[in-house]
Structure 1
Amino acid sequence: MTVMSGMAVSRPDHPSLLPALLAAPDPTDRVPRSARDWAVDIACFILAMSFGGLMLFVTSQGSPAPHHPPRLPDVLIGALGCLALWWRRRRPVELGIALGTVSVLSVSVAGAACIALFTVAVHRPFRTVALVALVHLVVNALYTAVFPDPTQAYWAGLLWGAVVVAAVVAWGLFVRARRQLILSLRERALRAEAEQQLRVTQARHQERARIAREMHDVLAHRISLLSVHAGALEFRPDAPPTEIAKAAGVIRASAHQALQDLREVIGVLREDTAEETPERPQPNLGDLPTLIDESRRAGMTVVYENRLHDGDAIPTALGRSAYRTVQEALTNARKHAPDATVTVVVGGTAGTDLTIEVRNPLVATASGIPGSGTGLIGLAERALLSGGRLEHGPTPDGEFRVRAWLPWPGETTPAGAAGVRP
């Protein structure tokens, strides 16, 4: 009666009577007995022997005429039935039918027959249990007819037998239902734990994707600066020493900063990070002048127009998205239009939209800096996640324009104007 052998309850019912009764044992039925199994089997053996002896004593007392089978065959059959209980785990259905059948010739085997019926009720489908119980009821009717009790009516003997069989089956079904409930709760707990691990894994992957976007935005900008200054040194070897030293200083500072950013990203991506380290401060819209100065020192011509109203009230996440948008647009302009004038316009008010526009004339020559082609896609995704949108492409005026609209929440939103895009 172990939980392991209880897995047989999931076997579907068989279409015919004989296979339902003689269902093949599960491989789990052959699992070696544990200490608990041995204790249960010994208790069942002792209980069957005791109940069989009690039945022998009851049927021998207080009757004017014997109403029991011959004693010697009765005792032998009862002893063999009790010994057969040691195989009830492997062949519960066959043992239940056999012990129920021989009960017509022995009252001492009644205890073993009840335990075998109980085992079938615990480990087999209800259809099989009903068929084995029917065998016990029929045998009880035959026994009552062959060895009638003169002190009670025939129907009373049938009723007592039916009550005993029903009680044994009900008890076995209760134990089976309880085990199924425990298994169900255990599976539900395992499933909940697996789902929790899946959510943690998904959150980790999303965080890594966010870090990858940040790494692309930061490193692409700094490496493009390195490429521009290195290209200037390559094509102007006769430049004054002061300019060469200045360009070398910019290259050194950009390379140092790029390595620092890369080291921080790789540290976050490590699997064996024991403790969560706080993120360093992220750039905001207030850092735009510094970003534009870096681009100007790299040789770009950048025109910056700040049309913000109450720029200090911009939320941190919104300012970071705006900063990354300008950074990626300047990087693209440096790659594809290195000598063109780039215009950066940032405007908006709280309660409407924060608008970012970066445009430059289309040119036929590029810097030769390779690009992944995913920068603008990442910006569009960032804008979409923020509830805004982003457009990019050539204009009829012969310029390439990147324009983003990001929602700027505020208490001054006019009624009916929420969500309006220019």
Structure 2
Amino acid sequence: MEPLSLSSLGGRLSAVIVLVLLNGFFVMAEFALVGARRSKLAEMADRGDRGARRAQAAIADLDRYISGTQLGITLASLALGWIGEPALAVVVDRALAQFGIAVPVGMAHSAAGTITAFVIITFLHIVLGELAPKSVALVMPEKVSGLVALPLMAFSRAMSPFIWVLNGTASWLLRLVGIRPMSEAHHAHSPEELRLLVMQARGAGTLNETDSAMLAGIFDFSAKRVHDVMRPRTEIVALHVDDDEAAVNEVLRRERYSRYPVYDESPDDIVGVFVAKDFWLREGETPFSLRAILREPFFVPASRSAERVLDDLRRTRAQMAIVLDEFGGTAGLVTLEDLVEEVIGDIADEYDLATRDVVEVDGILELSGSMSLVDVRSDHRLPVPEGEWTTLGGYVFGRLGRVPQLGDRVPYPGGELEVIAMDKRRVAAVRVHRAPAAG
């Protein structure tokens, strides 16, 4: 084999640098496209950033352009090994020749030259062609994706026949073993993944406690039924349709609510909703009639999702819904405020009582009996079994099979619940006794 001239050797060494940089470009493009946030790109595109718009187009067809980056990485790596290793081996051999170490007869390169060239190529490939570009892409994925989108699109178009064949072959092999190829629809995060991202962002300090709690409330809200968030029948303050003005005034003075359900024969026979504002703004000269100022009640089944009830209230501009059980009786009521509080937390006004659903003293948890089991499981990690009950107090009542008494205990997987407060026949509060950890 004829020795390489200096110009030829210089050309090959320059090709090594170019191939390492090309490899780094494709690696950087791959990580930038995968890591770029679509919301941030949309914001940049709205400000007129053309690179962001190209990046959006590339992400919209992500599988194709990721295949393009993989093809580019493979071609650059193969060419680097084919051109770079012999060129560097020649440089090493010539350096060794200065010390009297010659290449063995019949061999293109010495063993020392080949090994040294391999180590140098590997080092350049990993550091400049992999690690450094990946780090840059992960630090600023949106900016990098905007910069690499145009050349990557040009490369992918030029190589589109090869990409099509490679993608088709890979998809065929996946189907052959019973695996469905991932489509664009599968790139979206599931609710569980989003919840994990929120927890990670809170741990990293990107989200504060209030924001993370609100986002967690949104995820929990989608799993709730209206019976999980309603005010049960036993806690409803209602008016009778024949109540006189003095009786209504007394209820308004004592309870301070702005809306009340009104019944006729029994609380199962809700005939309207009384709004305090209508009472205060009525004509004073006319004889008082509660029936005359009632508004139409809005009814929902207890099995309806909380999300749908919220949509119903917004659509009808109602502030309160009467929740019906499976027999058509009154199970409870839910207000727009109740539903909003499930997402953003309690909204206390000047008339709300300063009560707390959760108290923790010396590491012992005390919970309100009216707390939804959905919240018990998600917020406090208590694996209370599902059943006919929807609240913590309902679970205690159901397990006992009788009216609970102070000091009663019922088991749950992982410990016991102790009744510590009663409101007539209703469980007002329970204390959580967790079983000691094994070992």
- Rg: which structure is higher? 1
TM-score computed with the length of structure 1 as normaliser: 0.31
Q: TM-score of the superposition, structure 2-length normalised?
A: 0.30
* Structure with the higher helix share, 1 or 2: 1
If each structure's strand is expressed as a fraction of its own residues, which one has the higher value?
A: 2
